[in-house]
Structure 1
Amino acid sequence: MAVKNALRIFIDVIMLILVAVPSVVFKFANIQPTQRGFYCDDESIRYPYHSSTISTTALILVSGFMNIVIISICEIFHYHGVRRKKEATTPEPLIWKIRVNRCFYSICGYIWILGFGLMANQGLTDIGKWTVGRLRPHFIQACDPANKTWINNCNVGQYIEEVICTQPDQKIFNDLRLSFPSGHASLSAYAMVFLAYYIQKRIPRFAYTYLLKNVLQFVCIAMAWFCALSRVMDYKHHPTDVLGGFILGTIVALFTARFLAEGFRNPYTHGSYKRSGDIDRRRNVEAEPSHVDTNSL
């Protein structure tokens, strides 16, 4: 069993690395996004540059911190509740001949699933960004074209195939073509919808309040929605970029929670970790004699 668990962890690490490959390749292999032109009278790419209300670092830290804290607290309460009732009937799992606390095992498992979905979501987002190559709303100001005659002498319907930017930083120049879908929207939607799904399945209804878990879910979705809308407010993305990213993140979160995490079923009631009550009920059912209607013989 110890070797089997260790092998499974090793293989899962390889799978996580494979899912992260698209993002790593796009970001570090100097791959250019699709070069698309624009109409000279397009007002949607002439917005001023604005700093981000929510930085990428803040988004990752807050969303990750919330998931880790809530999952950890919830699993600790579940674990001690099961231990207090003495319903655990099998030993803790073995990994490399080391007995691992099942509470810690469950927390790490759910966070691992969260990370796998995060990498998948980011990979799909980056594929969309580099493939579509849509210009950001502040493209003209950040690009600062060398030849601006077409701005003052624009004919309606005139399409600019290529523009030479005076922006010296190639990284910033490439980022101007990565508007669709919004990475902030997809990441915030994924993290918060995943957490809202976890709350629904793992936090019970309390006797003193019926709506506590729903308020927590509302906070999660509201935070994700505000983060997504801030990208339009900061002129970083077009509304359709945000909508596409939010839909993508939601789909990946639901798929991860439903199929990879198996709907967050109680880890103490399936697999090799059974509750004694379930085992006793099963034994009683098997021991009950079958009732035969003698009148029908």
Structure 2
Amino acid sequence: MRDVAENGAGAEAPQSVSEPASSAQTQRKLTQKILIELAIMVALTIPICLYEFAVEPARRGFFCDDESIRYPFKDNTITPVMLGLLVGGLPLLLFVMVEYWRHLRAGEVSSTVQLLGWRMSSWLGELGRQLSYFMFGMLLTFDATEVGKYTIGRLRPHFMAVCQPQMTDGSMCSDPVNAHRYVENYDCAGEGYTIADIRQARLSFPSGHSSMAFYALVYMALYMQRRLPCRSSKMFRHLVQFVLIMVAWYTALSRVMDHWHHWSDVLVGSLIGVLGALITARYIAKFFRMPYGNIILGTGLRRQDTSATLQEVCASTPPPYCANGGYTDEQYCTKV
């Protein structure tokens, strides 16, 4: 009995030691995962910084009589600050509200999880996970937009008003001799405008406002379809989704209205944003994947006892289809 007790006590000790070891291994894997994802975010941010501060857009020529680049300069209806609030502040607010509401309805607001040695609310952990998906897709969309802008270097509709190009011979586009001239070598006088304004005048394609607005707000519409519980009225959720899409649509339209982009710039930018939102929602956040627990096999088929039917079949069916048939090989050959 003593040996059994000693063996039993000795068997329990490794189990108690393995549990902390398993927990430590889980935390270590989680830490590695978070660090890798942060490194990816930084890697995606580097090209944006390089394009914005170190790369000059492609220098394209133009015809002096090109009316598509002779529009007057106007201020932005949707300023960069407003765009930042639309694609950053508004999604953050919706993420917080939806995740808190989900956990409140499930009675899990007070539940906690351990993350990197810190104890935090479970809904905050889920909030961080959803934000990481959103930010990853946004950086991909931003990178794709920047590549297009600096590679193409398309002139904005107000290019002539901002640049005020002057030829190497000192003539201007307003001179009759340059009426149908294609100009490649020129300098921007830009009286009344800064160097940044002149640089921005060569970054028309595709529209960054359109791509970022459509990415952020289409993604939020998909997110709310998947994550927002609305058992009382589904119309409320669809109304919010419609408002989000309309805000993105108005942002895109304002770029043409303000003469900052050609219609094709806005179209391509919007498509980039929508495509980025769909790819992120489908393959990264996996909003459209049906959980395995919700898959019902055999839906619509009624279970019934088929033993009686099999016995009736066995009475007239030769082997090997019926094990109880009692036919010999010779009888089976005659049946065949």
| Band the TM-score falls in, shorter-chain normalisation | 0.7 to 0.9
Aligned to 1:76: 100
Q: Aligned partners of 2:234 and 2:280: how far apart in 1?
A: 27
Could you say if the C-alpha distance between residues 120 and 154 of structure 1 is closer, same or farther in structure 2, counting changes exceeding 3 Å?
Answer: farther
TM-score, with structure 1 as normaliser: 0.83
What's the C-alpha RMSD, in Å, of the aligned pairs? 2.6
Alignment of 1:12-27 (within 5 A): 12-27=37-52
1:152 partner letter:
D
Aligned to 1:263: 287
Deviating more after overlay: 71-80 vs 9-18: 71-80
Pairwise CA distance, 1:64? 1.8
Alignment of 1:230-245 (within 5 A): 230-245=254-269
Pairwise CA distance, 1:157? 4.9
Q: Aligned partners of 1:70 and 1:100: how far apart in 2?
A: 20
Aligned mate of 2:209, from 161, 181, 184 = 184
Superimposed CA distance per residue, residues 94-141 of structure 1 (whole angstroms, 9 cap, x where no aligned partner): 322223322101111111211111111111111000000000111111
Q: Aligned partners of 2:306 and 2:45: how far apart in 1?
A: 61
Superimposed CA distance per residue, residues 239-288 of structure 1 (whole angstroms, 9 cap, x where no aligned partner): 1111111110110111111111111769xx78xxxxxxx6xx9xxxxxxx
Query: Residues 121 and 187 of structure 1 are in contact (CA less than 8 Å); yes or no, is this contact kept in structure 2?
Result: yes
Pairwise CA distance, 1:292? 8.9
The yes-or-no answer on 1:128 pairing with 2:138 is: no
Structure 2: tracts of 5 or more residues without a match:
1-25, 297-304, 312-321, 324-336
Structure 1: tracts of 5 or more residues without a match:
271-277, 282-290
Pairwise CA distance, 1:82? 2.5
Superimposed CA distance per residue, residues 69-105 of structure 1 (whole angstroms, 9 cap, x where no aligned partner): 2221111121123336x9x9xx854322223322101
Query: Residues 65 and 180 of structure 2 are in contact (CA less than 8 Å); yes or no, is this contact kept in structure 1?
Result: yes
Aligned to 2:31: 6
Structure 2 SS opposite 1:22: helix
Alignment of 1:103-122 (within 5 A): 103-122=123-142
2:42 partner letter:
I
Query: Residues 102 and 229 of structure 2 are in contact (CA less than 8 Å); yes or no, is this contact kept in structure 1?
Result: no
Alignment of 1:116-195 (within 5 A): 116-146=136-166, 147-153=170-176, 157-167=180-190, 169-195=194-220
Query: Residues 179 and 241 of structure 1 are in contact (CA less than 8 Å); yes or no, is this contact kept in structure 2?
Result: yes
Aligned to 2:59: 35
Query: Residues 58 and 153 of structure 2 are in contact (CA less than 8 Å); yes or no, is this contact kept in structure 1?
Result: yes
Q: Aligned partners of 1:186 and 1:220: how far apart in 2?
A: 14
The yes-or-no answer on 1:220 pairing with 2:244 is: yes
Q: Aligned partners of 2:181 and 2:115: how far apart in 1?
A: 65
Aligned to 1:199: 224
Q: What is the percent sequence identity of the aligned residues?
A: 33
Aligned to 1:229: 253
Aligned to 1:102: 122
Query: Residues 33 and 133 of structure 1 are in contact (CA less than 8 Å); yes or no, is this contact kept in structure 2?
Result: yes
Structure 2 SS opposite 1:150: coil
The structure with more radius of gyration: 2
Structure 1 SS opposite 2:234: coil
Pairwise CA distance, 1:164? 1.2
Structure 1 SS opposite 2:156: coil
Could you say if the C-alpha distance between residues 222 and 15 of structure 1 is closer, same or farther in structure 2, counting changes exceeding 3 Å?
Answer: same
Query: Residues 20 and 120 of structure 1 are in contact (CA less than 8 Å); yes or no, is this contact kept in structure 2?
Result: no
Pairwise CA distance, 1:197? 0.5
Pick 1 or 2: higher relative contact order, CA cutoff 8 A, min separation 6.
1
Query: Residues 128 and 181 of structure 1 are in contact (CA less than 8 Å); yes or no, is this contact kept in structure 2?
Result: yes
Aligned to 2:83: 59
Aligned to 1:287: none
Q: Aligned partners of 2:219 and 2:33: how far apart in 1?
A: 24
Equivalenced residue count is 271
Aligned to 2:272: 248
Could you say if the C-alpha distance between residues 83 and 52 of structure 1 is closer, same or farther in structure 2, counting changes exceeding 3 Å?
Answer: same
